[in-house]
Amino acid sequence: MIKRELNYEGPSPLLYLLATPIGNMSEISPRTKAIIEESEYIACEDTRNSGLLLSRLGFSKKLISCHEHNEEAASSQIVSLLKQGKKVAYMSDAGYPAISDPGSRLVANCLNNGIKVSTVSGPNAALNALAGSGLDSTHFYFHGFLSSKPSERDQELQEIQSRKETVIFYESPHRIGKTLAALYGALGERPAVIARELTKAHEEFIRGNLKEFLALDVSTLKGEMVIVVEGKKEEKAIDEKAIINQLKAYLDSGIRSKEAIKKTAETLSINKNQVYSLYLSAFKNNQ
């Protein structure tokens, strides 16, 4: 059944979801501050982190803990307060609640109880990384964290392998090395960007491709990071004559066959196996 609700019409209770800074404190917006000011309760993923943020902003509010492991029970308490007419807003540790963070079960519980939900815009690591990546942002797929179990991670990558959209992953420094190896293994030599410590003093964009990333010293990949990877590209239609001409040019210049095949594939941005089979049919089978 379709339900249509105008959020700012009538006195019914409304839960605000607040996006908070992903590093740079000055990215908290005047609207976010205004909503905090008018809220009696701030529900949050971590009361210590949010308590610190609120005190830096000069607020003292009643805090309710609502995290991954107590979201169901905590949402009942939040729903009950909202029904009593109390003003409550929810924030996770950084960025948007419900985006690789708790919040979605709270939202569902509010909606099931006739409570409206509104979002207050702010920073988000995935969109910052995508916008700064320089990769095609027309269509993108946000995957967030890959599973920490290798077999599940590889299954996820297998499904992602054929996606044409740019793909966005979240990752933490302690498993970045293994993740980069798994990405190259499943997706091959694709252009990619690691966006590290966004909005912070040590913000860094590392641009290259998944194969080149294997040579990165992982001890230099500290802090928080997002990996953005180009989607699967259509294989180029092969103009066999052009490939054979390029191969012949390399062979005639004295380059050995193995190297000539590799260079031809790189020059024409095509698969090495395609060049190899043409090499066999055009040069070897005639000998």
Which residues lie near ligand SAM (CB under 6 A)? Answer: 22-23, 92, 94-96, 99-101, 124-126, 170-172, 195-200, 224-226
Contact indicator for 157, 121 with CB cutoff of 8 Å: no
The residue (of 23 and 191) whose beta carbon lies closer to ligand SAM is 23
Reading across the β-sheet that carries 166-171, which strands appear in turn?
Answer: 140-145, 166-171, 225-229, 191-196, 204-209
In angstroms, give the least distance from the CB of 224 to ligand SAM: 4
CA distance 169 to 166: 10
Q: In the Cβ-directed half-sphere of 98, how many Cα atoms lie within 13 Å?
A: 16
Cβ-based nearer residue to ligand SAM, 13 or 97: 97
CB of 144 to ligand SAM, least distance (A): 7
Least distance between ligand SAM and beta carbon 22 (Å):
4
Q: What would the two tokens of residue 33 be?
A: 């501050």
H/E element holding 118?
strand 116-120
- Of 95 and 231, the one with the shorter C-beta distance to ligand SAM is 95
Of 195 and 270, nearer to ligand SAM (C-beta) is 195
The smaller minimum CB distance to ligand SAM, of residues 53 and 225, is found at: 225
Q: Which of 180, 235, 182 is nearest to 209 (CA)?
A: 180
- Distance between CA atoms of residues 193 and 26, nearest Å: 25
Task: Measure the CA–CA gap between 19 and 11, rounded to whole angstroms.
Answer: 24
Q: How far is the CB of 109 from ligand SAM (least distance, A)?
A: 19
Q: CA–CA separation, 96 vs 14, rounded Å?
A: 17
CB of 110 to ligand SAM, least distance (A): 19
- Minimum CB–partner distance for residue 226 and ligand SAM (Å): 5
Residue 79's nearest CA partner among 111, 45, 102, 47 is 111
**CB closer to ligand SAM out of 75 and 124:** 124
Using Cβ positions, the residue closest to ligand SAM within the complex turns out to be 95
